[in-house]
Structure 1
């Protein structure tokens, strides 16, 4: 059935919130009233109408029932789909970013293949004349094409991806990262949107996972008829800031050192985050933890990945341990750290606020303190309290002397890992 307003639905393991917010920002350039739901709240236009983790059907209904909303952009998470399904019977564009091992063992979902089936519900709901936007670099996602009735559009960080080549040769629509550009492909033509270095969300082109999110968002908007000029304008004005994308690669200059706040909380997102963090030229300090309802082996993996990423680690736990005994998650993370790098300095400070303040108090010059918090709002507040009166940009402009952030990652040195927020 025809929907009352265009609906763009976004799902995936990582990157959902950033991509949802960016798609909403793109549609705002068209002067339409955009209603959107995220893990950070429900928004209509520029107004937060309901705070909280609002990625289920009840929050989506709030948007769809509002008479002022002209475009609906809906983050659709695993939990809401399993509990109550979707708030709509059909959508215009469905975006599937990636599928990775997170939330396994919850809600009778034991394998990553079963998780892919849950995520594919969004793709299968797209109307025949709509578009499903799929990650061509993730086989679990690209395989969903066989189960949908809509048109397919693929995005990829690899311009020579064989699926992209065959799809566009048949006249299909795609978006790729090629020669430093975010580009739209169809048939034998290429339409370059913008250089990644000019897209603030990508931290000067040095965060490949953010480039992937921008590709998916741009492709979804283009498939829905948004002009390239509006997409380009949106990409130029959307930043990984505490205002526009709280908890998503927020790099904050504190004068003597930098802090990075990110909601990475599963192995998939830790791996992608490492591509940026490991190339920081100064000391790298991590404040790490994870949701208590994850499997024991997931916590051990987080510890192993943290030991490869940081020079020093502070292990904390969430206030809400989700039924896990206090201290158990920290013990498992410690086990992972010591299995990979027992010489890596690490200590357990269970209280998140104390752990963050300890890391900030002891940060040496030119270091990077990476905070992976339960409460993004709390972490940002603690860091904001330490901002100097006037701060220099976190990323030096092109042509100026490189700061530690400028030197952190060269695009050619990072292998793309599906990610996100």
Structure 2
């Protein structure tokens, strides 16, 4: 384990460690594995990758378990339970420094978690304050899993909570660990209340990421230095960065290291296909995301609309399997708000769903032009032919990996000059 620079205690809330070595030594003395658990309906994989990048910037040896599998020091392992058991053994003999585990709502609800076992737990969101979301079966399961997650943090540990999601941060269950609330502004109601009662939070102010209390706070980087958030244009990515920074700071990583890692971080299409991947195709921008119901769609669309002034929007959508039938009209309305073009594929399989989506799109004052094609591959080809300089394409991909490969080939064709 390398020696990292340590910030002054005067700049930190009293409950946070001065260094990673201090944090890890405390865990070792209590025979507690250095495992960070991260859960949420959206954004948890992105936050996990950011935390991993911060640890890698610190030259720490890591193990990561996500729905993509297990990686040790960036190398994919075969299987899951056996390599994870080995990773925990390596934490015990100090040949690994820290592990990050993605926690799935349904698994936590069904199996539970050992109480007070994780030194750090983080919850990115649940239903982003949507009543329509909270009545869904999967959301009810998540809501029942939340108390188990909150109880899984050790009494001397930290729980990092989305301070903008009332279903996550405004609950009646007592928390034995130290809560850190995260919000884009410290004037967010729950964050402001938490700070007024002496709590610790992470927020942005004057284009700076900060963590602390009412009395004292320290910088964690600059919003304009975040390339994955298009230098502050994509608010939910700034929030993801704040979540990751708060988690890393809870493990003793200094703010300077966090800032350097976030400034270098890139959204890897290979590791996170369909996680708001932003690509340039010539002078146009293409964003590849996963289909989600309207209550989650509003968040990335705010980022899309922020980029839109002066740009034409081309939206590509297909089966939208994650969207319930009774949400298709609202989803269509949201996708059609900016006009432009809406390229639909796969409409022959469930024509009644396509009709609902079109009904929603047509409800806008200036509805989009709707184009039907057969397959997702054909939809991408059609959109690429339509793209003009300064256009913006938003792809809700059924097969994100395939879409990203097609777009990467398009990038290569543009970069490679045609021989005479």
> Fold conserved (TM > 0.5)?
yes
Measured against aligned partners, the alpha-carbon deviations of 1:224-273 in whole angstroms (never above 9, x if no partner) come to 22122221121111023435644323222211422111225232332112
Match of residue 382 from structure 1? 406
Q: 1:305 aligned to 313, 334, 337, which one?
A: 334
Cα distance between partner residues in 2 of 1:263 and 1:211: 19
Q: 1:148 aligned to 175, 198, 201, which one?
A: 175
Cα distance between partner residues in 2 of 1:64 and 1:302: 43
Match of residue 397 from structure 2? 373
* 1:79 Cα deviation after fit: 3.4
Match of residue 103 from structure 2? 76
Match of residue 224 from structure 2? 197
Match of residue 213 from structure 1? 240
Deviates most, 202-211 or 82-91 = 82-91
1:40 counterpart = 2:40: no
Match of residue 260 from structure 2? 233
Secondary structure at the residue paired with 2:275?
coil
Measured against aligned partners, the alpha-carbon deviations of 1:387-420 in whole angstroms (never above 9, x if no partner) come to 15676xxxxxxxxxxxxxxxxxxxxxxxxxxxxx
Match of residue 278 from structure 2? 251
Structure 1: gaps (5+ residues) = 392-421
Match of residue 339 from structure 1? 363
Match of residue 352 from structure 1? 376
Cα distance between partner residues in 1 of 2:375 and 2:328: 17
Cα distance between partner residues in 2 of 1:360 and 1:189: 50
Match of residue 161 from structure 1? 188
Q: 1:287 aligned to 313, 316, 321, which one?
A: 316
Alpha-carbon spacing, 1:58–1:8, altered in 2? closer, same or farther (3 Å): same
* 1:188 Cα deviation after fit: 0.4
Cα distance between partner residues in 2 of 1:105 and 1:161: 22
Relative to total residues, which structure has the larger helix share, 1 or 2?
A: 2
Cα distance between partner residues in 2 of 1:337 and 1:61: 50
Counterparts of 1:2-13 in structure 2, within 5 Å, are: 4-13=32-41
Alpha-carbon spacing, 1:389–1:378, altered in 2? closer, same or farther (3 Å): closer
Native 8 Å contact 2:332 2:356 kept in 1: yes
Match of residue 406 from structure 1? none
Cα distance between partner residues in 2 of 1:291 and 1:126: 36
Cα distance between partner residues in 2 of 1:251 and 1:90: 37
Native 8 Å contact 1:200 1:240 kept in 2: no
Cα distance between partner residues in 2 of 1:166 and 1:292: 39
Native 8 Å contact 1:134 1:142 kept in 2: yes
Give the TM-score normalised by structure 1: 0.80
Cα distance between partner residues in 2 of 1:293 and 1:161: 30
Cα distance between partner residues in 1 of 2:53 and 2:194: 28
1:315 counterpart = 2:339: no
